[in-house]
């Protein structure tokens, strides 16, 4: 087993580290205090620099305008970008666009690719993914109320969705809706592309999350689809295959998220260690780093990060080698292990910083607010644990 990183990747990761440190981290104070849309022009300039470095859309195939890195390589890139909350956006691999690109590439018609996929990969437009509903459990999405009923050449969509991340100023939504209500449960829903300027697409609000509603890319939309009419040619993939396509979207997506979270772990850990080394807590000059409890947090966090990182890279490798279906336990396990590791590491880092950790003078409070959701989206902890346990217990039945 070879854990070495290729020479090419060492160079790429060094370039990214330098870029994140020099170009993105200095923008963060502004990012924390102003509307995202005010930052878009300056972020556009940074995106141009990334394109010149030939690292744009690192996870997408070269033939559609990406840089063509494989999943393990992109995992490492995602970790490096995760150090700044601006990293993925500026490199053109931000959720939910990255997942939408993957399914448009795999299932889109030629027309859909030209109209939606290529400008999306290029960063000219943004999109959102609209599956979770206000009144139905996202953990059991087959309980879906949104319908898309055929009328002439169109689908007419009605439903109430929320947490359609980044809907504000998106060009289109990929909407999950029931098209075949009498089919077996998992074959009832389809994915449909809905341009956001369509009559009946109503963005009700950006949901306030942990004290902040956000805007533009940094927001989570509540959307009412009210007799929203789109042509049937906007169906993405075969009718009734929405859940199958959704699974395709989630496998690699979980690697991207988990490695991004590990980038957050790494930065929080570094901040914790640096602060422990300088914060004096005794008149004789001894610092927090001299305390056993702090040493314990440092040692435990380092081991937790290492364990989570190896699990994630292994899951990425397993997806590449055997496919997402065969690697579903690995994918589920990293989802809850890494999310909880991140929460624990951020929490330790805040504790070491004391009052400073609670303030918005470091990035830790931003992480604490924004990343709590990691244990909920893309499948809550409990749902992943139940499905892993179910399969494992079955394996040991006599
Ligand atoms: C920041 C953020 C971004 C999101 N982005 C998107 C997006 O872009 N597009 C989109 O469609 N959705 C998005 N979501 C929605 C997300 O996928 C759902 O919130 C998630 O699937 C959980 O669904 P729910 O909120 O309806 O909770 P529910 O399904 O109602 O579950 C509530 C809680 O109950 C527990 N639970 C649920 N089922 C079980 C079970 N079987 N056994 C034990 N416990 C259980 C879990 O702890 C869960 O947290 C986002 C959510 C957040 C917070």
CA distances from 101 to 113, 127, 205, 377 (A): 9, 9, 25, 19
Ligand 1 touching residue 58 (CB < 6 A): no
Ligand 1 touching residue 217 (CB < 6 A): no
Specify whether the CB–CB gap between 134 and 160 falls below 8 A. yes
Can you tell me the distance from the alpha carbon of 239 to that of 181, in angstroms, rounded to the nearest whole number? 12
Q: Would you state the pLDDT for residue 297?
A: 96
Give the CATH fold of the 243-395 domain.
Butyryl-CoA Dehydrogenase, subunit A; domain 3 (1.20.140)
Q: Would you state the pLDDT for residue 171?
A: 98
Ligand 1 touching residue 30 (CB < 6 A): no
Ligand 1 touching residue 164 (CB < 6 A): yes
Where does the chain have alpha helices with state H?
7-19, 28-33, 36-52, 71-81, 87-90, 97-107, 110-112, 118-121, 242-278, 292-322, 328-353, 355-358, 364-371, 381-395
Q: Would you state the pLDDT for residue 252?
A: 81
Residue 175's beta-bridge partner residues? Answer: 130, 192
- The CATH label, of 2.40.110.10, 3.20.20.30, 1.10.1050.10, 3.40.50.450, for the domain at 127-236 is 2.40.110.10
Distance in Å, CA 114 to ligand 1 centroid: 33
Q: Which CATH superfamily is domain 7-100 in?
A: Acyl-CoA dehydrogenase/oxidase, N-terminal domain (1.10.540.10)
Ligand 1 touching residue 373 (CB < 6 A): yes
Q: Would you state the pLDDT for residue 250?
A: 76
Specify whether the CB–CB gap between 196 and 171 falls below 8 A. yes
Ligand 1 touching residue 250 (CB < 6 A): no
Most ligand 1 atoms within 8 A of CB, residue of 377, 385, 386, 388 to mutate: 377
Specify whether the CB–CB gap between 228 and 148 falls below 8 A. no
For residue 133, the ligand 1 atom closest to its alpha carbon is: 26
Q: In the chain, where are the structural domains located?
A: 7-100, 127-236, 243-395
For residue 96, the ligand 1 atom closest to its alpha carbon is: 8
Which residues in the chain come in under a pLDDT of 70?
Answer: none
pLDDT tens digits, residue range 203-233? 999 999 999 999 999 999 999 999 999 999 9
pTM recorded for the entire structure: 0.95
pLDDT tens digits, residue range 30-62? 998 889 999 999 999 999 999 999 999 999 999
């Amino acid at each position: 087993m070879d854990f070495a990183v290729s020479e090419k990747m060492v160079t790429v990761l060094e370039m990214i580290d330098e870029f994140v440190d020099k170009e993105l981290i200095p923008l963060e104070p502004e990012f924390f205090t102003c509307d995202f849309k005010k930052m878009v022009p300056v972020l556009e300039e940074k995106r141009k620099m990334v394109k010149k470095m030939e690292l744009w859309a690192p996870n997408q195939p070269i033939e559609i305008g990406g840089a063509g890195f494989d999943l393990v390589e992109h995992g490492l890139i995602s970790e490096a970008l995760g150090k700044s909350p601006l990293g993925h956006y500026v490199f053109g691999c931000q959720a939910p666009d990255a997942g939408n690109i993957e399914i448009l590439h795999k299932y889109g018609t030629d027309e859909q690719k030209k109209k939606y996929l290529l400008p999306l990969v290029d960063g000219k437009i943004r999109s959102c993914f609209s599956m979770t509903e206000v009144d139905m459990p996202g953990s059991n999405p087959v309980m879906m109320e949104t319908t898309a009923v055929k009328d002439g050449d169109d689908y007419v969509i009605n439903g109430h969705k929320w947490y359609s991340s980044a809907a504000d100023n998106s060009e289109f939504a990929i909407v999950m809706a029931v098209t075949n209500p009498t089919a077996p449960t998992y074959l009832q829903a389809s994915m449909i592309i809905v341009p956001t300027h369509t009559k009946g697409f109503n963005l009700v609000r950006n949901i306030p999350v942990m004290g902040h509603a956000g805007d533009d890319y940094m927001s989570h939309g509540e959307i009412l689809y009210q007799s929203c009419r789109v042509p049937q040619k906007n169906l993405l993939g075969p009718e009734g295959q929405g859940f199958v396509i959704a699974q395709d979207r989630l496998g690699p997506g979980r690697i991207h998220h988990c490695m991004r979270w590990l980038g957050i772990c790494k930065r929080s850990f570094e901040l914790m260690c640096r602060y422990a080394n300088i914060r004096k807590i005794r008149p004789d000059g001894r610092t927090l780093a001299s305390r056993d409890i702090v040493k314990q947090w440092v040692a435990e966090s380092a081991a937790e990060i290492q364990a989570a990182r190896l699990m994630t890279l292994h899951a990425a490798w397993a997806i590449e080698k055997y496919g997402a279906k065969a690697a579903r336990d690995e994918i589920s396990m990293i989802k809850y292990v890494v999310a909880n590791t991140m929460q624990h590491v951020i929490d330790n880092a805040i504790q070491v910083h004391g009052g400073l950790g609670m303030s918005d003078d470091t990035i830790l409070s931003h992480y604490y607010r924004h990343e709590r959701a990691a244990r909920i989206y893309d499948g809550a902890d409990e749902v992943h644990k139940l499905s892993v346990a179910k399969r494992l217990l079955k394996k040991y039945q006599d």
